[in-house]
Amino acid sequence: MKTIVVTGANSYLGRLAIEFLRERTAYRLVAVVSPRAELSAEQERVRYLRADLAAAPDAALAAELAQAACVLHFAWTRTGSAEEVSRANRAMIEHLLGAMRDAGKFWFISSVSASPRPMSTYGATKHEAAELVRARGGSVLVCGLVVEPDPPRGPYRMLQKNVARLPLAFRAVSGEPLVFPLRLEDLGAVLAHVATTAPAPGSYRMFSAPLGFNTFLGLLEKLAPRLRVPAPFPAGLALRAAALAKKTHLIPVKLCDQVLTFLYKDAAHLLAHSELPGLALRRCADESFFR
């Protein structure tokens, strides 16, 4: 039986990946979790392994990586300075690839925040990691904003909750950013597709067609109709202010980075990634996209 290895299997997306792959493939799954993570209940065809990916794989993990048909790398650390984050995540990738016989079976889960012209630490380090993976012969999946009807956590959960709660209709009046959404069902479809069809190594989109930030918020507001007061804001100015505050430490760096990660998207760079052959992702055309 073929094997799929999923790192970061205790994360929000990693857990979902295990569920989807178990439902949509007949492959055996190896769920790699952090050393202190609580292990999920036993499941058919799923083996859980605790591992510190900052170190070289132990014998058990190395054996699984060596014979894996596909490795989906979700694990990521944000702890430390930009240099420390970059170094730690690149080391994880090197350790995993070093135990594999074929780097072409390695898939790094990147983000739409990644860019060669980043504004956030997250975007910069994700891009550096993606470049390393491609240089080593692996592939990259650029993940958009994952949406689902009742998200338990994640950035969409925070956005959905605040849109429903606040009596304000935020709209960008200058420098309107784009949103690159991805339905939860399409996330599962992409992961099963790359694991079972083995596309040629490359950098691929895992997001649907982008839409404007204002349009996206307008659709979200339809899910929780109420009287809202228009609240225009200059998105371009907000980005510049967050970048300056981050540089001068006037506001906590983590908060600044969250603003920069959320509002800044390098559309030209993102749309240069290839679409996966044989797979169509649903466009966000109306509020039914979120249901």
Indicate which CATH number applies to the domain containing 72.
3.40.50.720
pLDDT digits (tens, 9 = 90+) for 185-203: 999 999 999 999 999 999 9
Examine residue 160 and state whether it is found in any structural domain, yes or no: no
Examine residue 221 and state whether it is found in any structural domain, yes or no: no
Supply the mean pLDDT for the chain: 94
Examine residue 260 and state whether it is found in any structural domain, yes or no: no
Examine residue 276 and state whether it is found in any structural domain, yes or no: yes
pLDDT band at 43 (very low <50, low <70, confident <90, very high): confident
Cβ contact 191:155 at 8 Å: no
On the question of pLDDT at 38 being above 80, the answer is no
Burial of 77 (0-12, 13-18, 19+ CB in 10 A): middle
**Tell me, what's the pLDDT at 174?**
87
- Residue 42 is part of which domain span? 3-144+180-208+266-280
Examine residue 93 and state whether it is found in any structural domain, yes or no: yes
Q: Tell me how many domains the chain contains.
A: 1
Examine residue 31 and state whether it is found in any structural domain, yes or no: yes
Q: Residue for token digits 């559309």? A: 267
pLDDT digits (tens, 9 = 90+) for 195-235: 999 999 999 999 999 999 999 999 999 999 999 999 999 99
**What mean pLDDT comes out for the span 147-154?**
89
Cβ contact 44:21 at 8 Å: no
Examine residue 156 and state whether it is found in any structural domain, yes or no: no
pLDDT band at 247 (very low <50, low <70, confident <90, very high): confident
pLDDT digits (tens, 9 = 90+) for 163-188: 999 999 999 998 899 999 999 999 99
Examine residue 122 and state whether it is found in any structural domain, yes or no: yes
Nearest Cα residue to 184 out of 211, 215, 153, 161: 153
Instruction: Report how far residue 118's alpha carbon sits from residue 116's, in angstroms, rounded to the nearest whole number.
Output: 6
Q: In the beta sheet, which residues pair with residue 172?
A: 233
Nearest Cα residue to 93 out of 63, 135, 58: 135
Among 94-98, 174-178, 213-217, 268-272, whose mean pLDDT is lowest? Answer: 174-178
Nearest Cα residue to 93 out of 135, 53, 51: 53
Q: How many residues appear in the chain?
A: 291
Q: Residue for token digits 């240099």? A: 83
